[in-house]
Amino acid sequence: MRTERRDQCILISGESGAGKTEASKKILLYFAVTCPTNDHMLTLGDRLLQSNPVLEAFGNAKTLRNDNSSRFGKYMDIQFDFKGATMGGHILNYLLEKSRVVHQNHGERNFHIFYELLDGGDNDLLNTLNLERNPHSYRYLVKGSCPRVSSISDKNNWRVVRKALDVIGFTAEEVQKLLNIIASVLHLGNTLFGEGEEGETYITTETQLSNAAKLLGVDGSALKEALTHKKLTAKGEEMISPLNFEQAVSARDALAKAVYGRTFNWLVEKINQSLTLKVQEHSKDASIIGLLDIYGFEVLQHNSFEQFCINYCNEKLQQLFIELTLRSEQEEYETEGIAWETVQYFDNKIICDLIEEKHKGIISILDEECLRPGETGDISFLEKLEDTVGGHPHFITHKLANGKTRRVMSREEFRLLHYAGEVNYNVNGKIDQVMCQSENQILSHCFRREEVIDQKRPEMAASQFKNSLMKLMEILMSKEPSYVRCIKPNDAKQPGRFDEVLVRHQVKYLGLMENLRVRRAGFAYRRRFEAFLQRYKPLCPETWPNWNGKLADGVSALVNHLGYKPEEYKLGRSKIFIRFPKTLFATEDALEAKKPEIGKRLQISYFNMTRIKLFIVIQSGWRGMKGRRRAKKRREAAQLIRRFIKGFINRHEEYCDDNDYFLDHVRCSFLKHVRKNLPRNVLDKSWPTPPALLVEASEHLQGLHMRNMVIKYCRRVQPEWKKQMMQKVVASEIFKDQKGSYPQSVGRLFLDTRLEREQISLKVLQTLGSEKYGVSVIKYDRRGFKPRLRQLLLTNSFAVLVDRTKIKQRLDYAALRGENQLQRLKIIRFTVSRTKEGIIDFLRGSELKVAKGKRGHLLVVSQRLFSGHAERLRGRESLFLYERKKKNFHPADCVETVFSSSDRSSEQRHMKIL
């Protein structure tokens, strides 16, 4: 499965009691022990193993041949990943022997779960279920007169089953509902009927009926009505008629069988849910090993419909065995052109066709007889069998048999000559509706309401089993089979005793002798030419390193070089066949011995012999050192992982030896993470999220880091910057949300153009007297526009223009014109003399410039011109002045002035308060 990625299946077959169930348990145990595991796979392996005791308790029983006989068929698919680890599982169950619920042959028991519940359940549980501990109190448990078996401990098995249900994943409520159903079957078995004078049937054990109704979760009166009456539908009308005594008993038993059978199907479905593949995205890559553990061939004193289906199943499995081992192998030799003397064997296809052939087989005849209108019965079915298949060599009835056979056959029986022997089958052979109203969640799941209203013709039980068996054959044919043949040593169920006649009989009818003859006369190994040549080509110089001719010629050259004798092998059309295993083993040994030489040849092509020897020594030493290092690292890694996992488990405990490494790792990792993700400035408030145990320390570190960044920032601030920042704070208080362009100006530095007191003439200061604000300005005269340095001093009520120590001009604020009177012009005209007019031109440019233009005009170049009311041009030495006092803000604190040719003429001066 792992090397070639091919799905496999294991078919376990043999008679009842030969050990099939034990063999399947050993195989599952092998998977659980040898496959790689993790936590999920370990849990899955436990569920696979624990599903066996649950299914055995509900599906196995003591028979005359076997104390733990499987009374149902089981096929299990186990899914594996590419490493060979279990990933999931699925179980298919076939034909539970439901008739055992209501009847057992002498010396046999009902299903194990009934006896385990009574013997192992505690008193409180039994009181809840209204059960007694003595199995003799229940009619369904004493039909075989064998309530106890010396080789079985029902009390110990009960503990195993209860533990297994918990491991699989059953909830306490589901277990209780399940046990309610088991107990209800026992109460149904104790429900008895009486017959009135007019033939009507009534229930004589009301207590048992009420217990059953309560445990089943159905209405007691509805259950009573269903057990004593039947409902008929004719032309859309419903009629209810009473049942006679025999019909009521049959109805009760049919109900018990249906309840138990469907509950068993629900149990398998629940186990499948716990085994479902969890990693769905890898389901396509999963490989499968199927395990078939199905009922063995049985010959009982009274063989019913269940035994017919069981033996039919064994016929199909024997046919599959013949198809895959005897027929296909011999056909392969003939296809490949190998000389072969055919080994004769019994082909049981004739028996399978007798049972399952369409329209003429026993199952088809049974379906037709059950569905045909009119009176039908067991005898009419037997008569139709005699008419249809009466001439078949493997079919006999009392009517068709000779005198000797008639003496041992009943008139109500027919005999089939199976591959394993002759079996006589007796032809002697619906109350599901009321179950659809059950409040028991398991029963309401098993008995669906849709079945009651569905008017389609139901499929017969035999056809259902045949179809499910066909699907099983398809599953098995899609996989590569392996067989486990279980041989029953004796019928006494004793160890160490071999009945030679019994063993020889099994070996014979299983076809093992014919299989051995085919194997002995055939070939132990076969492989296609390309695969064989690819693996063993290094053993021959002609085929190494590549063979470019025909594949058959390359294989022939290879085996001749290896010295194969003619009787040891044969070449077919596309495959080589090797007769003896020892020949293949010798070839494998030669390949292993050749591998060092091949490596040596590769080394020789690059180095001489001396270097090769030195290289081998160095390589050996180096590999040894690397191996020791690698082993040491693995040991340390394993210890570290264990310590880390242990610390993670105990991470919420106090600091101790169990979690110190993990907690230290968490702290160290967080500090490293913090170091790489520290905030870079005081405005960055981000901080890595700490683990729960470092919240307090994280907050303390965050505060320390922020304080440190603030200290560092403050130390880097120069006095000039500090002064600017203080001015910005004051500006923010005044202009924030008051001036539209304020946000864009925040990033710009203030320009200090204010004149200090020492820069102003003392005489002027004494003359003005009041608080004043001064700034340097430039005056351009009317002749040639030569610049003249002046001082503009502003007080609270007027402004003056000063030339050194002389006040040249005074302007009261009250005399200023309003803003709406200013002309929005790019050219300003002014009077130079009485007869001459001067002009100032404003142009846009990359930098501020004041000069005489080509036409004799005063030219002012700025990045921005008048727009709207007036343009604000900022500069230390310009016509346009913009300043703001820190305190006592006044409209006169910010002015924009254009001076004309005469300082004394206020008529020729334009000033605007901004």
Cα–Cα distance list, 409 to 309, 424, 910 (Å): 20, 8, 142
Confidence of residue 119 (pLDDT cuts 50, 70, 90): very high
Average pLDDT (302-313) is 78
Least confident piece of the model among 85-94, 166-175, 597-606, 886-895: 886-895
The reply, when asked if residue 20 is annotated as ligand binding, is yes
Q: 787-794 and 798-803: which strand pairing? A: antiparallel
Residue range 247-268: average pLDDT? Answer: 90
User: Cis ω on the peptide bond leading into residue 581 (within 30° of 0)?
Assistant: no
- For the stretch 604-650, pLDDT in tens is 665 665 666 777 888 888 889 999 999 999 999 999 899 889 888 98
pLDDT at residue 820 is higher than 50: no
Ligand-binding site membership of 627 (annotated): no
Q: Is 19 annotated as a binding residue?
A: yes
pLDDT in tens, 100-113: 899 888 888 999 99
236 belongs to an annotated ligand binding site: no
Cβ partners under 8 Å of residue 139, min gap 6:
189, 190
Identify the pLDDT of residue 612: 66
Average pLDDT score over residue span 358-378:
70
What does the pLDDT average to over 264-290? Answer: 78
3-state secondary structure of 597: helix
Can you tell me the mean pLDDT for 356-384?
72
Measured in whole angstroms, how far is the alpha carbon of residue 578 from the centre of its chain?
45
Does 442 or 237 have the greater pLDDT score?
Answer: 237
Instruction: Please state which architecture CATH assigns to domain 523-605.
Output: 2-Layer Sandwich (3.30)
* DSSP-assigned letter for residue 391: T
Residue whose pair of structure tokens reads 């796979």 in the numeric block: 41
Q: 548 in the Ramachandran plot: left (φ > 0), alpha (ψ -120 to 50) or beta?
A: alpha
CA separation, residue 696 to residues 455, 650, 691 (Å):
73, 21, 10
| Spatial separation of the C-alpha atoms in residues 697 and 670, rounded to whole Å | 11
Q: Residue 164 — very low, low, confident or very high, per pLDDT cuts 50/70/90?
A: very high
CB 521 within 8 A of CB 333: no
Distance (Å) of CA 303 to CA 97, 400, 421, 867: 12, 20, 14, 116
Quote the longest CA-to-CA distance of the chain.
166
Residue 537 clears pLDDT 70, i.e. is over it: yes
Which pLDDT tens digit goes with each residue over 844-897? 777 777 777 777 777 888 765 544 333 333 333 333 332 333 333 333 333 333
User: 383 a known binding residue?
Assistant: no
Residue of 834 and 60 predicted with greater confidence: 60
16 known member of a binding site: yes
Q: What percentage of the chain reaches a pLDDT higher than 70?
A: 82
Closest CA to 111 of 144, 74, 75: 144
- The residues annotated as belonging to the active site are 16-17, 21, 66, 69-70, 296, 298
pLDDT at 206 over 50: yes
What tens digit of pLDDT does each residue of 279-307 get? 554 556 788 898 888 777 777 777 777 77
CA angle 98, 239, 231 (to 5 degrees): 10
CATH class of segment(s) 8-304: mainly alpha
Mean pLDDT value across residues 247-263: 90
What is the predicted pLDDT for the residue at 390? 79
pLDDT at 177: 93
Q: How far is Cα 268 from Cα 178, in angstroms, rounded to an integer?
A: 13
Amino acid letter, 137: S
- The pLDDT value recorded for residue 191 is 92
Note the pLDDT of residue 112: 94
The more confident residue out of 498 and 595 is 498
What three-state secondary structure class fits 210? helix
Average pLDDT in the chain: 78
> Is 361 marked as a binding-site residue?
no
E strands, 471-613, in order: 480-486, 525-528, 569-571, 575-578
Q: Which residues pair with 576 in a beta bridge?
A: 527, 571
CATH class name, domain 753-842: mainly beta
Tell me: pLDDT of 570 over 80: no
Q: Answer with the residue of higher pLDDT: 807 or 441.
A: 807
Share of residues in the chain with pLDDT > 90 (%): 14
Indicate the range of 168-177, 334-343, 429-438, 507-516 predicted with least confidence. 429-438
C-alpha neighbours within 13 Å on the C-beta side of residue 187: 25
Task: Spell out the domain ranges in the chain.
Answer: 8-304, 523-605, 659-716, 753-842
Supply φ then ψ for residue 192, to 5 degrees: -110, 160
Residue 818 annotated as part of some ligand binding site: no
pLDDT value, residue 342: 65
Distance CA 876, CA 860 (A): 15
Q: Using one digit for the tens of pLDDT, what is the confidence trace for 331-349?
A: 777 777 776 666 666 777 7
Give 793's strand partners.
774, 800
